Amino acid sequence: MQNSQLMQQIQFIVEIDRLKQVLRQTLLMDGSRRENSAEHSWHLAMMAIVLADYAPAGVDMLRTIKMMLVHDVVEIDAGDTFCYDVQGNGDKTARELQAADRLFGLLPITQAAELRHLWDEFEAQETPSSRFATALDRLQPLLHNQHNKGGTWQLHGITGDRVLQRMQPVEMGAPQLWPFVTQVIEDCIAAGYLNPAPTKPVGVE
């Protein structure tokens, strides 16, 4: 029995190697290539450790780190959906639910439930840990875009108002970091990495 459990666990470990080949839109800080979802997850887990002092009351650090490690595994089947892609986000939930069933289902049943619960908690955004996790998940690409001089924003024509809106979960999940986020956005606009909100054309109400 233990042996068959181990074989299921090894199969899962082998399968998730594929997350290293799921590319996000975000470029590395030096702009040299796109980031993959496995290294992104590592970076977020490191951020949870380093920024633990700014976690609000009620955040469970082990749970947050596990959530950061697990939260993108579904992308192995569902792919990464660019956050500003309205169409792609339309069926994102259905694709990811199916992926969660298959991928976590590779594990022994109690462990499958444990990891699935972590992912469900992250998706539901109802606990301090999951909100803090999402705050970090938003902050990280902001830092990337700041350091690679507006990479994704420039490529896709994303303006400052949309970035500010996208960063709202930081205000919710890690309020102590919010002044830093607004400062980075201002700095990026001032540096020309990010265009400010479009203004209404003359004559349009």
E strands present in 3-122: 23-27, 34-36
Instruction: State which residue, 153 or 178, has the beta carbon closest to its own copies.
Output: 178
**Residue 201 CB, nearest distance to its own copies (Å)?**
38
Q: Are 100 and 88 in contact (CB under 8 A)?
A: no
Does 65 help bind its own copies (rule: CB under 8 A)? yes
Neighbours of 48 (CB within 10 A): 24
Neighbours of 66 (CB within 10 A): 21
Does 107 help bind its own copies (rule: CB under 8 A)? yes
* Residues 198, 167: Cα–Cα separation, whole Å: 18
Does 41 help bind its own copies (rule: CB under 8 A)? yes
- Write phi, then psi, for 92 (nearest 5 degrees): -60, -45
- 93 DSSP 8-state letter: H
**Residue 9 CB, nearest distance to its own copies (Å)?**
5
**From 8-16, 83-91, 92-100, 150-158, span contacting its own copies (CB under 8 A):** 8-16
- In the block, which residue shows the tokens 């479009």? 198
**Residue 19 CB, nearest distance to its own copies (Å)?**
8
Q: Residue numbers of the site for its own copies (CB under 8 A)? A: 5-6, 9-10, 12-14, 16-21, 28-30, 32, 35-36, 38-39, 41-43, 45-47, 49-51, 53-54, 61-62, 65-66, 69-70, 107, 111, 115, 140, 143-144, 147, 177, 180
